[in-house]
Amino acid sequence: MKRLGGYGPGTAVVAVPLGIALAGPLLVGEPTARAASFTLDAGHRLGTDFVGRDVVQQVLLGGRPVVLVALAATVLVYLVALPVGLACALTHRRWLEEVLMRPLDVLLAVPSLLMILLVAAAFPPGKAGLALLVAFVSAPDATRIVRAAAAEAASRPAVEALRMQGESWWRLAVGYVGRSILRTLAADAGIRLTGVLYLVATAAFLGIGVAPDAADWAVMVDRNRTGLIVQPWAVVVPALLIVALTMGGNLLVDAAMERRTPVRKGRRT
Amino acid sequence: MNALRSWIARRLLLGVLQTAAVVLLVFGLTEALPGDAAVAFAGDQPDPQRIAAVREAMGLDRPAHERLTDWVVGLLHGDFGTSLTSGRPVAGFLADGFGPTLLLATLTVLILVPVSVGLGVLAARHEGRLTDRLISSATLGVYAVPEFALGVLLVSVFALRLGWLPPTAVGYGTDLLAHPAALVLPVLVLLARPVCSLARLVRAGMIDALAAPWTAHARRYGIPGARIRYGHALPNALAPATQQLARTIDWLLCGVIVVEALYVIPGLGTVLMNAVADRDIPVVQGLAVVFGVATVLLNLGADLVTHRLAPRSGAAA
């Protein structure tokens, strides 16, 4: 797919939100005294939020949870997807494959946000719970992709040869098949990360897995909406940062995919 | 014809299995509650009397399989149970929220299909040139942006800064069609992600189809370009896009929940969010079943259309 430029635009767009998310908490000074809510006076460059906290400080603090939860969820996805996908691709027992893969078809039929809401209604999660939950709804699709890629690699003559040499399952799965599917995995991980980021931010906006006054960009957008008319910065700045983060992330992933792998059709986040 | 019939039968069977699985999953999840639904509902101020009353109302003292059977039989008759907070039948909640949500979804899909096909074909016709690069970059950029961030920015610009549109649907009740201005922003936000993904697929499919040997052959026969493009290439390009349309439904259902929360539209998404906040398990269960079954049905429909458009592709079954 032809776009404007390679890594340039994506890096430019993602640099600011990612920088704030990672370095922001280091730059925050002592929390200032609470002022009146939704004011725009001289002491606060971007005004105050719904409980009178400084918006600049909240913005600096609010990126890290979004990014960290998304990263943790992506890692968790592959902790499930890799072993299950590889086991399915390498096994010669059809029933094992069916037992492992069929339930995923069913999970794919449930809208991901609905699943998150449903589980959250039963067990209100914390940050770790949210990461687990997002990983749980993202895992079926990732598992399918791992399995498809690994099945192709596992049918190569080299695998047959390794088997006849009596190589262990571990060397076969990790040493050969795992290494051959690295590129597909890298591309999929990028797509997965943008999808997970979307789910994490949306869930936080809906109040799942976060405290009602948490320093979190998505929560800021939600809680400060009531003061949008008097004090737009408390909403607009975090919303812009989320837009830049997801948009830039997606541009980067696409640039990377174009460089490293042939076009993959019908992808899904 | 026989192969087609057996394919349809297998696909329908998968749909039935998925529906059954969704119902079981919904029941199982709430069954796995620590304590039980009554304790969860009582929340921070557990009042033993109240818990006992809820237990009684939900029949929690009976074994799980009996309750499951009752619930499923009720579902088949359109009886979704009773809300814990208000004592109203859940079906009443569903009926209240159904109108606005259906309106949003229908409007979105009606606009979605022509816009994304149009953009995709436009980009494919100008492959590699400025129009294509602009469309491709824009669709790629907006593709992953969460609805709430996009929506809140649109509100600040178009509703608060410029004052062209109302910021929320507050005060318009459920009859939104009478106030089209209140629908513009919600539908725009709902459209953003699906349009991007579909337009990209249509573009890719169109480019493939126009580069295929049979297109060149049709050209040599002197068939007009427009007929090749819209009569032959487009249906082939649409097959993968229809499958994506089914996946888009997943996004639309998620999007509806967010957009209704953002624009304060009294639809099913709002009902669901309120029920989640109140931990009103029967309402959550009922809505989950409705959303889940809707997804299964729409996926089924999309697969049937895909099969019709490109029988050789052998859509999943």
How open is the CA angle B266-B272-B277, to the nearest 5 degrees?
110
Q: Quickly state the pLDDT bin for A42 (edges 50, 70, 90).
A: low
User: Which residue does chain B place closest to A196, by CA atoms?
Assistant: B144
B299 CB near a chain A CB, below 8 Å?
A: yes
Which residues on chain A are in Cβ contact (under 8 Å) with B253? 111, 113-114
> Are A205 and B273 a contacting pair at CB < 8 A?
no
A206 CB near a chain B CB, below 8 Å?
A: yes
Does residue B316 carry a pLDDT above 50? no
Query: Which residues is A54 bridged to in the sheet?
Result: A48
A58 contacts A45 by C-beta, under 8 angstroms? no
Q: Note the helical H segments in chain B.
A: 2-31, 37-42, 48-58, 64-76, 90-125, 130-142, 147-154, 180-211, 213-220, 225-227, 234-263, 268-278, 281-309
What tokens does A53 get? 């906290």
Q: Quickly state the pLDDT bin for B42 (edges 50, 70, 90).
A: low
At how many degrees (to 10) do helices B180-211 and B213-220 cross?
80
Question: Model's pTM, two decimal places?
Answer: 0.82
Report the pLDDT averaged over residues B95-113.
84
Does residue A216 carry a pLDDT above 50? yes
Sequence-distant (6+) residues with CB within 8 A of B125 are: B206, B229
A263 contacts A1 by C-beta, under 8 angstroms? yes
Whole-number Å distance between alpha carbons of A16 and B170 = 35
**How far away is chain A from the Cα of B18, in angstroms, using its nearest Cα?**
6
Q: Quickly state the pLDDT bin for A264 (edges 50, 70, 90).
A: very low
Note the pLDDT tens digit of each residue in B209-225: 777 888 888 888 888 87
Note the pLDDT tens digit of each residue in B151-205: 888 888 887 777 777 777 676 666 667 677 778 888 888 888 888 888 888 888 8
What per-residue confidence (pLDDT) applies to B315?
42
User: Which residue does chain A place closest to B37, by CA atoms?
Assistant: A122
Which residues on chain B are in Cβ contact (under 8 Å) with A112? 250, 254
Higher-confidence position of A171 and B174: A171
In B, residues 74-133, which contact A (CB 8 Å cutoff)? 127-128, 132-133
Percent of chain B with pLDDT over 70: 84
B317 CB near a chain A CB, below 8 Å?
A: no
Note the pLDDT tens digit of each residue in A5-39: 577 777 888 888 888 888 877 777 777 767 777 77
Does residue A2 carry a pLDDT above 60? no
ipTM for this model: 0.78
In B, residues 27-56, which contact A (CB 8 Å cutoff)? 29-30, 32-34, 40
Note the pLDDT tens digit of each residue in B128-155: 788 888 888 888 888 888 888 888 888 8
Query: Which residues is B89 bridged to in the sheet?
Result: B82
Report the residue from A105, A122, A229 with minimal CB separation from B29: A122
What per-residue confidence (pLDDT) applies to A75?
92
A12 CB near a chain B CB, below 8 Å?
A: no
- In three-state secondary structure terms, A8 is helix
Report the pLDDT averaged over residues B226-243.
77
Whole-number Å distance between alpha carbons of B55 and A53 = 43
Least confident range of B246-250, B258-262, B309-313: B309-313
What is the average pLDDT score of chain A? 79
Does residue B317 carry a pLDDT above 60? no
**How far away is chain B from the Cα of A170, in angstroms, using its nearest Cα?**
32
Query: Which residues is B82 bridged to in the sheet?
Result: B89
Q: Which residue has the tokens 């057996």?
A: B6
Q: Which residue has the tokens 């606009």?
A: B111
Report the pLDDT averaged over residues B112-129.
84
Does residue A201 carry a pLDDT above 80? yes
Does residue B1 carry a pLDDT above 60? no
Report the residue from B136, B141, B240 with minimal CB separation from A250: B141
Which DSSP symbol is given to A54?
Answer: B
Query: Which residues is A48 bridged to in the sheet?
Result: A54
> Are A201 and B148 a contacting pair at CB < 8 A?
yes
Q: Which residue has the tokens 């005060």?
A: B171
What per-residue confidence (pLDDT) applies to A76?
92
**How far away is chain A from the Cα of B26, in angstroms, using its nearest Cα?**
8
Q: Quickly state the pLDDT bin for A265 (edges 50, 70, 90).
A: very low
What per-residue confidence (pLDDT) applies to B38?
64
A1 CB near a chain B CB, below 8 Å?
A: yes
Q: Which of B133, B152, B157, B279 to mutate to test the interface with A (most CBs of A within 10 A)?
A: B152
Report the pLDDT averaged over residues A76-97.
83
> Are A121 and B275 a contacting pair at CB < 8 A?
yes
Whole-number Å distance between alpha carbons of A153 and A155 = 5
Report the residue from A3, A114, A240 with minimal CB separation from B133: A3
A90 contacts A154 by C-beta, under 8 angstroms? yes
Report the residue from A2, A112, A202 with minimal CB separation from B146: A202
Report the pLDDT averaged over residues A199-212.
85
Report the residue from A2, A109, A229 with minimal CB separation from B18: A109
User: Which residue does chain B place closest to A220, by CA atoms?
Assistant: B149
At how many degrees (to 10) do helices A94-108 and B2-31 cross?
80
What per-residue confidence (pLDDT) applies to A266?
43
Report the residue from B136, B147, B240 with minimal CB separation from A2: B136
Report the residue from B40, B143, B291 with minimal CB separation from A122: B40
Q: Quickly state the pLDDT bin for B260 (edges 50, 70, 90).
A: confident
B293 CB near a chain A CB, below 8 Å?
A: no
Percent of chain A with pLDDT over 70: 90
Closest CA to B123 of B115, A10, B227: B115
What is the average pLDDT score of chain B? 78
A230 CB near a chain B CB, below 8 Å?
A: no
In A, residues 109-168, which contact B (CB 8 Å cutoff)? 109-114, 117-123
Least confident range of A62-66, A196-200, B90-94, B242-246: B242-246
Percent of chain A with pLDDT over 90: 2
Q: List Cα–Cα distances, B231 to A140, B206, B215, B234, B235, in angstroms.
A: 37, 12, 11, 6, 7
Whole-number Å distance between alpha carbons of B209 and B227 = 13
User: Which residue does chain B place closest to A231, by CA atoms?
Assistant: B156
Helix H or strand E segment including A67: helix A55-90
Closest CA to A251 of A49, A47, A6: A6
